[in-house]
Amino acid sequence: MSGVQLLEPSEVDDGVRAGPGRVLDGLPSCVTVVTAAAAAGPAGSAGHPVTPVSLDPPLVAFFAPGASRAVAAVRESGRFAVNVLAADQAALYDRFTRGTGDRFDPADWELGGPPRLRRALAVLECELEAVTPAGGRVMVLGRVRRLGARRAEPLVSWRGALHGLAHTPPEHPHYRALPAC
C-alpha cells in the first residue's frame, strides 16, 4: 500500500509495528451474503464488507470486485439484499466461498426478487443507488426499502477467520441485553 506510513510503536499498539494489511484485516465485520436476482438466476457473493451509510434516508454500502457476477446481477436488476449471517450459519458462508453444496437451496432461501436467507440475523432489501469505483473494488450503494431481523448472535469475520461474540458478563458496565427485534 503505497503512501501509508506506520505510526511509531506506542502504548496503543503494544510496541508492535503492524503493516497495513494486518491492521486492516484486524477490523472485525459482520459476515454477509449479498444477493440479487438476474435473468440467468440468483447470484450471490459472501464476505464483502457492508456498512451503514445513513439512517435518513436509510442507505447501506457494500464493497466487491467490480467484475463479480453478484455486482453484475445487482446492476441488471437494480435491487439487492444484504443477508447478515447469524453465528449458526457458518456452513452457508462456506457454500458461497468454497463452492460446496447448492448455494441457493430452497430450504434456506426465499426466492422471488433478491434472495432472502431464512433465519438470517438481518435482511436488508435495497434499491440500487450507485456503483462507484473504490480502489481495486466498487462500492455499491443501496437505499433500504424493506428489512427484518431476529434475535441471535452475529457471525463475525476477524483476521481471516469466523468467530462468534464473546459474552460480556451482565455485571460489566458496558453490558447490554440483546434488544427485542
Domains by residue range for the chain, with CATH: 30-162 (2.30.110.10)
The whole-model pTM stands at 0.84
Distances (CA, A) of 173 to 153, 168, 169, 170, 180: 20, 10, 9, 8, 20
pLDDT at 18: 65
pLDDT in tens, 26-61: 778 889 999 999 999 999 999 878 999 999 999 999
pLDDT at 23: 72
Cis ω before 57 (30° cut-off from 0): yes
**Pick the residue with more confidence: 23 or 112?**
112
User: Mean per-residue pLDDT for 1-29?
Assistant: 66
Task: Please determine, for residue 5, whether its predicted confidence score (pLDDT) is greater than 70.
Answer: no
Mean per-residue pLDDT over the chain, rounded: 85
pLDDT at 47: 80
Task: Please determine, for residue 167, whether its predicted confidence score (pLDDT) is greater than 80.
Answer: no
User: Mean per-residue pLDDT for 88-101?
Assistant: 85
pLDDT at 45: 92
pLDDT at 37: 95
Residue 107, by phi and psi: left (phi above 0), alpha (psi -120 to 50) or beta? Answer: alpha
Tell me the C-alpha distance between 158 and 16, whole Å.
18
Residue bearing cell 477467520: 161
Tell me the C-alpha distance between 179 and 140, whole Å.
29
C-alpha cell of 61? 454500502
pLDDT at 142: 98
Task: Please determine, for residue 115, whether its predicted confidence score (pLDDT) is greater than 60.
Answer: yes
